[in-house]
Structures are given as structure tokens and as C-alpha cells.
Amino acid sequence: MKLRAFLGYTAATATVFVALLTPFLLMGVFTKGFAALPVHVDEVYSGGPRVRTIQMGTHSIDVHRPVYPHMLQNEKPFVELDWRPVSALPQRVSDAVDIDGDGLPDIRISFDVPRDPKAPLRVDVESLNPHYESMRNAGKEKYSRLIVRVDDAILVRVPLASH
């Protein structure tokens, strides 16, 4: 019984030390430890990793790896394209984009670039390759089908056609 009591008090004292060490040491250790885990934010949110960049004169288009939703996730597979910097974009963008890198354009994307960064965006996507879906006047209805402005880029997500 005495040993158990000794262990109990030792653990209680250690608990008080854990509390005292938290802001100076443990928070940093735990945060770095968690950040070092091999986990990533769901690509449906993040858009997946960038695979290449297409230079278009004054601006560039980042092409991301296609994202495939999980199980019952209520989204379609999509590919994200980022136009940046917004300041270098013409008033109306109309670019034919080679997404898969085979030298042929896969889609033609057209959208207006309002000067007001909070103005709503709409996009038209004409599919030139049956792997990609066309979109008419799309806004930001779903993660897999949208156009939004994030910082200094305009992001367009084009759904992949289901076969």
C-alpha cells in the first residue's frame, strides 16, 4: 500500500511539472511532433500537390495532381489550376490549358478578373478532352467545381468526367 501511495504522489507531482513545463517546453515538443507526422490535410480542401507550372507570358498556371475523393465523400474527382499573380492577369482570361502535359490542350477556360478582390467570380470551361467536364457560368458550389480567389491566385477546379 505504501508503494502504491508513493507511486501515486510521484505521478501527481509529475503531473504538476507537466503543467508547469507545458508553455515553455511541452507545447513546442508536441506541436513539432504532430507536425512531423506523415499526415496531410485532405486534398479535397488543399487541392493536391502542384505537379507543374505553365508559363503564359505575364502570368503562370499551376497544374495540380488530380484529386480523387474518398468513399462516400460528396464530391467528384477534379483537377485544380491556379492562375497567378492576379495583378498580371488581363481583364478577361481565356486560356487553352494542357493539363496532362501531352502537348495538346485539354480544356479552354474563360473568366473575368474583377478589380475588386471580393467580387464574385464565374467561369466557363470548354472540354477539349473527354476526360474533363465542361462547366457553364460556375461559381463556388462544390469543392470539385469552383472558381475562387485565394490570396494572389485565382483557383479553378475542373471535375473529371466519369467513365
* DSSP state, residue 39: -
Quote the CA–CA distance of 20 and 18 in Å, as a whole number.
5
Quote the CA–CA distance of 83 and 156 in Å, as a whole number.
8
Q: Which stretch binds another protein (CB under 8 A): 15-23, 59-67, 87-95, 97-105?
A: 15-23
Quote the CA–CA distance of 118 and 3 in Å, as a whole number.
66
**91 forms part of the interface with another protein (CB under 8 A):** no
**116 forms part of the interface with another protein (CB under 8 A):** no
**119 forms part of the interface with another protein (CB under 8 A):** no
**Least distance to another protein from the beta carbon of 152, Å?**
11
Q: How far is CA 140 from CA 74, 137, 159, in A?
A: 15, 10, 13
| Binder among 27, 96, 104, 119 for another protein (CB under 8 A) | 27
**Least distance to another protein from the beta carbon of 102, Å?**
28
Q: What is the dihedral of CA 107, 111, 113, 117, to 10 degrees?
A: -100
Quote the CA–CA distance of 92 and 114 in Å, as a whole number.
9
Q: State which of positions 28-87 bind another protein (CB under 8 A).
A: 29-35, 37-47, 69-74
Which amino acid would we find at residue 56?
M
| Binder among 93, 138, 155, 156 for another protein (CB under 8 A) | 155
**Least distance to another protein from the beta carbon of 103, Å?**
30
b/e map 29-43, b = 16+ CB within 10 Å: eeeeeeeeeeeeeeb
| Binder among 149, 156, 158, 159 for another protein (CB under 8 A) | 149
**Least distance to another protein from the beta carbon of 109, Å?**
18
* Residue 98 in grid coordinates: 494542357
Which residues would be at the binding site for another protein (CB under 8 A)? 1, 4-9, 11-13, 15-16, 18-20, 22-23, 26-27, 29-35, 37-47, 69-74, 140-141, 143, 146, 148-151, 155
